[in-house]
């Protein structure tokens, strides 16, 4: 195991949150966690197939960033590890689960599957199965906002795009090319690197000459921040600042969230290369437990209130499974539907 | 003879060629410590070191270009595409540099490299991981394209590909890695440019490759019971085609069905049918039939996915139909 990076110190007591916000963040993270646990169960029961990449452990990043944005107005783009980003963006657990079951009621009509979650209603731009390919697309969405504002004179066009990807993706040319364009044209975008230390079996340190990804922003004259990705309040704080900057037309930000996935790369991964010691180090930093403790310390939530949220979320996830199970298969007569616009 | 799984047959080929020639090296994502996503390079880094089994960052276009540069200057790289679809990101390096550079340099350089990995439609892997790419690369001048289909031919063909002085795109199939077969103890090579007659017959020539070969042999079981005698030919080389074997078969059966997993439009079969019409039209007793997969991105839903690719029942029907029209 490589020595762990010193996590950036961030005084979360400086982050002001209301009780309502605190509970909202908690519920969003718990939904992500329980949903993914249920996916693992359904995968092993043969209800869903293919490559299924779970998000356990990284919830503070999705919640911290996306829940600081304007739902259904701002844009979100993800990778193949996309279920929880979709949920944070407002896609219902029913629609995400139904997609995983390959049903017509899924957010991608059963055509996409685990790695291809889309929702035009919630401005979720995907769901990209290939590493780094979402970065240019997200950059294009941000360009669109700038275009509307500056070329079409639409003052209300101040949407921000959040673009999520992994440490592995940050070694791909598309990442560097987009950082350059986004900074050059001051696009309203936040690039969020979820540095979970591994790209399948490739340790981050073995794949990059400069492991501190946030520093790569500086050569593009872009703001770059590192943040403790296991602390939702810290992520939220950094995200709020970046969103405000983007919305004000002051350009993009690169946020590197230091985080960890609690499961293998996908449900097909034997996960043999990560050390027990490393897994334990990060398991002790579970972002959900951390927020629960924070809320208690601030007297914003009682154990009973959190338990009530847990129960509510469990019911949501059970309902999503029932919905997915009882939903219809796509119509075989519509095999060619959606190939072209208009159908 | 030793019973060997297909992924191990590929591993043996790589291992034997690396031992034989120290300019041969492997590069790609997770080929080292992880052992390759289908275990084709498992533990080879322990034997040959981390430079000869090079774990790369996720930078397909650049590491393919790097391999071209290494090949130009005397090494023999084997690129593993973790999934062949990822090589779409390296299309420029594969087409412009691997494929065309020998020609544009007027023969100054050769590019002895292999680009191999899992292709084809898997089981509910979604559109991007279930591609039918061989046709996308088919038009690129200077590339040889090969598709293996059994543990035996996988091993022998990979060795031939590594020894070939041209860039070879080497398609494995994501659903065939666990095929088992007794392989000879002694070394053998399978030539890249020879089609394989899987089942000799006299009624109709079925031209196929990769996983569809197994759909065809499955269909043949029923067809033989019904009294038909199809000849099944595994093309092996998708570029160039082994027209000698194909034409000998057509001259015998006078009927052709092409069965492919790739899309119909601009597919391997499209080129094959055109060539047969060009060269063997007078031999044909019926128009060539083509069974291809649907012209849509591979759907995730299992039922739609099944409808997208050719199934054995369709092959049976096609043969019955073609034979019914016999004059
Ligand atoms: C272009 C491309 N190359 C390779 C892959 C195979 N692959 C899938 S995920 C992955 C690792 C990505 O790691 P990272 O960016 O750190 O994201 P994480 O999985 O850790 O969330 C790889 C190599 C792919 N999907 N797309
Ligand atoms: Mg990672």
Q: Work out how many domains chain B is built from and give that number.
A: 2
Is there a domain that residue A4 lies in?
no
- Mean pLDDT across B270-274: 98
Is there a domain that residue A112 lies in?
yes
Of B132, B153, B183, which marks where a domain is finished?
B183
Tens of pLDDT along chain A (343 residues) come to 667 888 888 787 788 899 999 999 999 999 999 999 999 999 999 999 999 999 999 999 999 999 999 999 999 999 999 999 999 999 999 999 999 999 999 999 999 999 999 999 999 999 999 999 999 999 999 999 999 999 999 999 999 999 999 999 999 999 999 999 999 999 999 999 999 999 999 999 999 999 999 999 999 999 999 999 999 999 999 999 999 999 999 999 999 999 999 999 999 999 999 999 999 999 999 999 999 999 999 999 999 999 999 999 999 999 999 999 999 999 999 999 999 998 7
Which CATH number does the domain housing residue B133 bear? 3.40.50.970
Of B161, B183, B205, which marks where a domain is finished?
B183
Same domain, B166 and B207: no
**pTM attached to this predicted model:** 0.97
Same domain, B120 and B217: no
Is there a domain that residue A10 lies in?
no
Helices (H), chain A: 19-44, 59-66, 83-88, 93-100, 134-150, 173-184, 204-207, 232-247, 276-283, 287-297, 303-326
pLDDT of residue B286: 95
Of B159, B183, B207, which marks where a domain is finished?
B183
Same domain, B235 and B153: no
- Taking the CA of B84 as reference, the closest ligand is 1
Same domain, B68 and B158: yes
- In this prediction, what percent of chain B has a pLDDT beyond 70? 99
pLDDT of residue A1: 61
Same domain, B28 and B133: yes
Q: Where are the beta strands (DSSP E) in chain B?
A: 2-5, 24-28, 53-55, 76-80, 114-119, 144-147, 168-173, 180-183, 196-199, 204-208, 230-234, 237-239, 256-263, 289-293
Q: Work out how many domains chain A is built from and give that number.
A: 1
Same domain, B109 and B233: no
Same domain, B79 and B138: yes
Is there a domain that residue B47 lies in?
yes
Q: Which helix (H) or strand (E) holds A192?
A: strand A189-195
> Dihedrals φ, ψ of B197, to 5°?
-85, 105
Is there a domain that residue B191 lies in?
no
Is there a domain that residue A201 lies in?
yes
**pLDDT: which is higher, B196 or B2:** B196
Contact across the interface for A49 and B124, Cβ inside 8 Å: yes
Helix (H, G, I), strand (E, B) or coil at A271: coil
Range of the domain at B305: 196-324
Which CATH number does the domain housing residue A210 bear? 3.40.50.970
Is there a domain that residue A330 lies in?
no
A132 to chain B nearest CA, in Å? 9
Chain centroid to CA B242: 14
ipTM: 0.95
Question: What's the pLDDT band for B327 if we cut at 50, 70, 90?
Answer: low
A134 Cβ closer than 6 Å to some ligand 1 atom = no
User: Is B80 near chain A, with CB under 8 Å?
Assistant: no
pLDDT of residue A342: 87
How far is the centre of ligand 1, averaged over its atoms, from the C-alpha of B29 (Å)?
A: 9
How far is the centre of ligand 2, averaged over its atoms, from the C-alpha of A203 (Å)?
A: 8
Is there a domain that residue A337 lies in?
no
Same domain, B274 and B162: no
Contact across the interface for A113 and B55, Cβ inside 8 Å: no
Is there a domain that residue B135 lies in?
yes
User: Is A79 near chain B, with CB under 8 Å?
Assistant: no
Indicate which residue of B60, B80, B260, B261 is catalytic: B60
DSSP sequence for B231-280: EEEE--EEES--HHHHHHHHHHH--EEEEEEEESTT-HHHHHHHHHHHHH
How far is the centre of ligand 2, averaged over its atoms, from the C-alpha of A54 (Å)?
A: 12
Is there a domain that residue A81 lies in?
yes
Is there a domain that residue B190 lies in?
no
Nearest residue of B to residue A172, measured between CA atoms: B59
Same domain, B25 and B173: yes
Nearest residue of B to residue A103, measured between CA atoms: B301
Which residue, among B60, B80, B91, B126, would best test binding to A if mutated, counting the most A CBs under 10 Å from its CB? B126
A129 to chain B nearest CA, in Å? 6
User: Is A300 near chain B, with CB under 8 Å?
Assistant: no
Which CATH number does the domain housing residue B294 bear? 3.40.50.920
Range of the domain at A230: 16-325
Same domain, B158 and B245: no
A198 Cβ closer than 6 Å to some ligand 1 atom = yes
User: Is B33 near chain A, with CB under 8 Å?
Assistant: yes
- Taking the CA of B57 as reference, the closest ligand is 1
Task: Choose among B33, B57, B126: nearest Cβ to A50.
Answer: B126
Is there a domain that residue A3 lies in?
no
């Amino acid at each position: 195991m490589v020595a762990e990076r010193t996590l950036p110190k961030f005084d979360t007591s400086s982050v002001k949150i209301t009780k309502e916000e605190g509970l909202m963040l908690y519920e969003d993270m718990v939904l992500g966690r329980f949903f993914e646990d249920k996916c693992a169960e359904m995968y092993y029961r043969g209800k869903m197939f293919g490559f299924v990449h779970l998000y356990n452990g990284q919830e503070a990043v999705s919640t911290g960033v996306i829940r600081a944005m304007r739902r259904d107005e701002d844009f979100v783009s993800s990778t193949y590890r996309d279920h929880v980003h979709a949920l944070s963006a407002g896609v219902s657990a029913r629609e995400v689960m139904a997609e995983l079951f390959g049903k017509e009621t899924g957010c991608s009509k059963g055509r996409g599957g685990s790695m291809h979650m889309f929702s035009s209603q919630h401005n979720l731009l995907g769901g990209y199965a290939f590493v780094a390919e979402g970065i240019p697309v997200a950059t294009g969405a941000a360009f669109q906002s700038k275009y509307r504002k500056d070329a079409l004179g639409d003052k209300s066009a101040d949407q921000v795009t959040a673009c999520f990807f992994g440490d592995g993706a940050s070694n791909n040319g598309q990442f560097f090319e987009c950082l350059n364009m986004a900074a050059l044209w001051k696009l309203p975008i936040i690039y969020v690197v979820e540095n979970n230390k591994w790209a399948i079996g490739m340790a981050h340190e073995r794949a990059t000459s400069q492991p501190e990804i946030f520093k790569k922003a500086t050569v593009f004259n872009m703001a770059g921040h590192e943040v403790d990705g296991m602390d939702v309040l810290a992520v939220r704080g950094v995200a709020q600042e970046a969103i405000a900057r983007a919305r004000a037309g002051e350009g993009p930000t690169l946020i590197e969230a230091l985080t960890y996935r609690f499961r293998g790369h996908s449900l097909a991964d034997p996960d043999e290369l990560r050390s027990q010691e490393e897994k334990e180090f990060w398991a002790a930093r579970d972002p959900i437990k951390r927020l629960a403790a924070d809320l208690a310390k601030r007297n914003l939530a009682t154990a009973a209130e959190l338990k009530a949220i847990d129960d509510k979320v469990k019911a949501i996830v059970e309902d999503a499974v029932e919905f997915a199970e009882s939903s219809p298969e796509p119509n075989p007569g519509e095999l060619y539907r959606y190939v072209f616009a208009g159908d | 003879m030793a019973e060997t799984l297909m992924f191990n047959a590929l591993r043996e080929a790589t291992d034997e060629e690396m031992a034989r020639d120290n300019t041969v090296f492997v590069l790609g994502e997770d080929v080292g410590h992880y052992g390759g996503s289908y275990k084709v390079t498992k533990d080879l880094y322990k034997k040959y070191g981390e430079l000869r089994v090079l774990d790369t960052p996720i930078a397909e276009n650049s590491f393919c270009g790097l391999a071209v540069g290494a090949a130009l200057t005397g090494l023999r790289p084997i690129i593993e595409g973790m999934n062949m679809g990822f090589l779409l990101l390296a299309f420029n390096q594969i087409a412009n540099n691997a494929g065309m550079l020998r020609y544009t340099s007027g023969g100054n350089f050769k590019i002895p490299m292999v680009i191999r990995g899992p292709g084809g439609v898997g089981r509910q892997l979604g559109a991007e991981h279930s591609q039918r790419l061989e046709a996308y690369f088919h038009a690129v001048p200077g590339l040889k394209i090969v598709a293996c289909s059994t543990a035996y031919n996988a091993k022998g063909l990979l060795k031939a590909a590594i020894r070939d002085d041209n860039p070879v795109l080497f398609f494995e199939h994501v659903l065939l890695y666990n095929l088992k077969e007794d392989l000879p103890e002694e070394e053998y090579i399978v030539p890249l440019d020879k089609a394989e007659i899987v089942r000799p017959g006299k009624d109709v020539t079925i031209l196929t490759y990769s996983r569809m070969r197994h759909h065809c042999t499955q269909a043949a079981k029923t067809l033989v019971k019904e009294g038909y005698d199809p000849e099944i030919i595994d093309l092996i080389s998708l570029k160039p085609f082994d027209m000698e074997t194909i034409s000998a078969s057509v001259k015998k059966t006078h009927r052709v069905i092409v069965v492919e997993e790739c899309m119909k439009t601009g597919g391997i079969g499209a080129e094959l049918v055109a060539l047969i019409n060009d060269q063997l039209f007078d031999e044909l007793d019926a128009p060539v039939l083509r069974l291809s997969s649907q012209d849509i991105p591979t759907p995730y839903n299992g039922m739609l996915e099944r409808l997208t690719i050719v199934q054995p029942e369709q092959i049976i029907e096609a043969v019955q139909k073609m034979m019914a029209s016999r004059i």
